[in-house]
Amino acid sequence: MDKKINILLICMCVVLVSSSFAGESKFFGENWFRYTQERYDGKTEASEFGVERIYLRWNYVQNDNLESRITTELFSSDKDADANGAGLKIKDAYVKFKGIIPEGDICVGLQKNYFGRVYDWEYWPIEKAMGERYGVINGSRDYGVSVGGYIPKGYGTWRLEAVNGEGYKKSGGKINTELGYMADLRVIPVAGLTLAGSFIKDNVENAFGNFNKKMYYTGLLRFARGPIDVWVQYLGGEYGDPDDPTAQMGYMVFPKFSLKDLTGIDLELMGRFDFWDPNTDADDDGAYLYLVGFNYFFSREAKGAPGVMLQVVLDRSQPELSDAEPVDKIMAQLRWEWTTPAWTN
Amino acid sequence: MFKINKSWMLVISMALIAVMFGYALARKDDQNLTMTGSTTVLPIAQLAAEVYMDENPEVNISVRGGGSGVGIAALIDQTADIANASRAIKTKEIVTCREKGIDPVGNVIAKDGIAIVVHPDNPVKGLTIEQVRDIYEGKINKWSELGGPTKSIVVVSRDVASGTFEVFKELILEGGKTREDAVMLASNKAVATTIAQTQDAIGYIGLGYMSDAVKALEIDGVMPTNATVASGEYKVARPLYMYTNGKPKGLAKDFLDFLMSKEGQEIVEEVGFVPLQK
């Protein structure tokens, strides 16, 4: 608990000291309050309320060429015994240097993982993005350095990144001697059609002190027009013994449909279908994810006004093995967010 | 526990996607139009909407301010049909638009000069761009350094969501930052009111917000007027935009056609901005 208090005190000091700097500040808050019921083989395995996330973020723009972000993540639920009432993590802590690369930046610090769509996944179906859900990357953030920017005229984005590879949740673990490398390219040839691809190469130290190979690639197609938003993603790669790695693959289809224009109600319907095979050489070891749900917006966040939404999802994780029992989950989440207007100190 | 048949799942998914596509393609424009964004463009949008609705009683046009950034965000979220902006859209915003299926098209509807204004009793008549920059960056602090009284300058600026702020930063500050003690206000109107009430203040507003309550300064020897902005003589000027998703269609096209007509451009001039055509 002392560690948490220290982190909070440091954050408060940083914010207080910053008020004497010249620049533009913006504060952001987000809260996810979730009910989860999980059933397996006819039995209720979990039925619980929890504060899954509280994000408190401070964006500080010193000038056109220098900006920084600090985000703290708090959570409190029965799932995390170590949290002891409330858990606290630093989620973002980076500085971005702009003006060095045309239409781009160099980002240094604890920052987003630029693999697949983990970096701009908005948790519309509550569940995580593919790369994170299937353990290809260890968390949505990592410590490192990245270089990236925009393709001229808004035709897309690119980024190269070097990270520890262990994710932000495992600080204090083993000292890493092998960095992970990522590359991400997103091209938008016409409005509404996005083609994206990412690559990650990382060597991960295992319990025996040897390094496991980790190399994944992903391709994504997104089509958005009016009320329709459809994502299709393929994920594949190799993991394990460098001389005899295990091949893995999976895919996801995620359609979302807004009823706002049709009914006047700010409601989105969605579905998601995943397949993940952790070892392509083994039979019947894969799993399917079937998901249906909706997002209802009580209000949308706009310039300081809070956005409030209700998310409801039913999902089933169905093992590929035909006689295996599925795990069914119901999640209902109230999500609340706000942003202050930017102001100059 | 039921088992999901994969073939049925595929059929249902395909049917759902087909219905969604059918609906999206069959969408019809109705008689409502929503405009959000720049407070500079607001007077043009408001008066033009009033006149257009008088001539077309079946149409309902909603106009809101908030700043250029807010307007473009509303276009991206599809909560506005037109985003009013007093600056060009940024690359970051274009990427977000395109990814979400929005093709932002900037329709220039007028020109505007950014007038540097002071209280009418201030004896200073003109400044150079460099002097204005020095004032806003905190290098010049007293009016006496500019031939005025021995008083401290009260610097008034716009908040960062403002397109006027972005253009001012680009044309005057050349990317530099405003001094720490500047008063940041949310609209042109608020700036004009503050300058009118504060004898030692300096600020900047769109030409449409000029009145006898404030005094415009000559910049590099040129007074900001409709004529000097139209001729290009006055350098602190910018186009004003109405952004639409793709080329304007339906009601948005009718409204923009009206705004670009002789009658619409007269409205632009009436509210104090520079029409694209006489």
Orientation angle between helical segments B42-55 and B250-260, nearest 10 degrees = 110
Q: How many CA atoms lie within 13 A of A183 on its CB side?
A: 5
Which A positions 272-331 lie with beta carbon below 8 A of chain B?
Answer: 273, 288, 290, 300, 302-303, 316, 318, 325-326, 328
Instruction: Tell me which of A36-50, A142-156, A158-172, B11-25 is least confident.
Output: B11-25
Give B168's DSSP letter: H
CATH number of B113-237: 3.40.190.10
- Between CA B103 and CA B60, with CA B267 as vertex, the angle to 5 degrees is 60
Q: At A345, is the pLDDT very low, low, confident or very high (cuts 50, 70, 90)?
A: low
pLDDT average, residue stretch A247-263 = 93
Is B177 in contact with A230 (Cβ distance < 8 A)?
A: no
Task: Determine the length of chain A.
Answer: 345
Residue B220 Cα, gap to closest chain A Cα (Å): 26
User: Scanning every residue of chain B, which has its alpha carbon at the shortest distance from the alpha carbon of A272?
Assistant: B13
Residue from A228, A291, A299, A325 to probe the interface with B (highest B Cβ count within 10 Å): A228
pLDDT score, position B7? 65
Segment A253-280 mean pLDDT: 93
Determine the residue among B14, B95, B180, B187 to mutate to test chain A binding: the one whose Cβ has the most chain A Cβ atoms within 10 Å.
Answer: B95
Share of chain A above pLDDT 70, in %: 86
Confidence of residue A123 (pLDDT cuts 50, 70, 90): very high
- A22 three-state secondary structure: coil
pLDDT mean over B45-55: 96
Share of chain B above pLDDT 90, in %: 68
Query: Does A255 contact B at CB distance below 8 Å?
Result: yes
Q: Which residue of A has its CA nearest to B22?
A: A228
- More confident site: A9 or B96: B96
Residues 180-209 of A with CB under 8 A from B: 186, 188, 190-192, 194
Task: Kindly determine whether residue B160 and residue A24, on different chains, have CB atoms separated by under 8 Å.
Answer: yes
Q: Residue B180: which of A194, A226, A345 has the nearest Cβ?
A: A345
Return mean pLDDT, chain B.
89
Confidence bin at A5 (pLDDT 50/70/90): low
- What's the length of chain B? 278
Tell me the HSE value of A78 on the side-chain side, using a 13 A CA sphere: 9
Q: Where are the domains of chain B?
A: 6-111+240-270, 113-237
Q: Which residues of A touch B10 (CB under 8 A)?
A: none
Residue with tokens 């091209």: A187
B166 neighbourhood in chain A, CB within 8 Å = none
| Mean pLDDT, residues B130-148 | 94
Q: Does A33 touch chain B (CB under 8 A)?
A: no
Specify the pTM: 0.82
Per the listing, tokens 């393709």 go with: A151
Using a pLDDT cut of 90, give the percent of chain A over it.
61
Confidence tier at A174 by pLDDT (50, 70, 90): low
- Into which CATH architecture does domain B6-111+240-270 fall? 3-Layer(aba) Sandwich (3.40)
The structure tokens listed for B254 are 């009718």
Tokens at A189, concatenated: 């040839």
**Backbone Cα Rg of chain B:** 23
Nearest to residue B116, comparing CAs of B260, B214, B226?
Answer: B214
Task: Indicate the residue of B1, B16, B24 with minimum beta-carbon distance to A325.
Answer: B1
Q: Give the distance from CA A206 to its chain's centroid.
A: 25
Q: Which of B24, B79, B182 sits opposite A227 (nearest CB)?
A: B24
Of A323 and B241, more confident: B241
Q: How far is CA B81 from the centre of its chain?
A: 15
Q: What integer is the mean pLDDT of B211-229?
A: 94
Asked if the model's pLDDT at residue A162 lies above 80, the reply is yes
Of B35, B12, B15, B20, give the one whose Cα is nearest residue A227. B20
Tokens 């005057």 appear where?
B172
SS3 at position A109: strand
Q: Are residues B13 and A261, on separate chains, in Cβ contact within 8 Å?
A: no
Between chains, do A303 and B161 touch, taking CB under 8 Å as contact?
Answer: yes
Q: Which amino acid is at A84?
A: N
| Amino acid, single-letter form, for residue B193 | T
For residue A166, the SS3 value is: coil
Q: What is the pLDDT at residue B1? A: 43
Do the first three CATH levels of B6-111+240-270 and B113-237 match, i.e. the same topology?
A: yes
Nearest CA of chain A to the CA of B84: how many Å?
Answer: 16
Across the interface, of B13, B74, B102, the residue whose CB is closest to A273 is B13
Across chain A, what does the average pLDDT equal?
87
Q: Which of B1, B3, B161 sits opposite A342 (nearest CB)?
A: B161
CB contact under 8 A, B91 and A154: yes
Determine whether the interchain pair B177/A22 forms a contact, defined as Cβ–Cβ distance below 8 Å: yes
Residue with tokens 């300096």: B202
pLDDT score at A289: 96
Q: Are A27 and A304 in contact (CB under 8 A)?
A: no
CA A35 from centroid of its chain's CA atoms: 20
∠ Cα A87 A93 A94 (to 5°): 165
Are B147 and B124 in contact, with CB atoms under 8 Å apart? Answer: yes
Q: What is the mean pLDDT of residues A266-278?
A: 95
* DSSP of A327-340: EEEEEEEEEEEEEP
pLDDT of residue A312: 96
Instruction: Count CB pairs under 8 A between chains A and B.
Output: 122
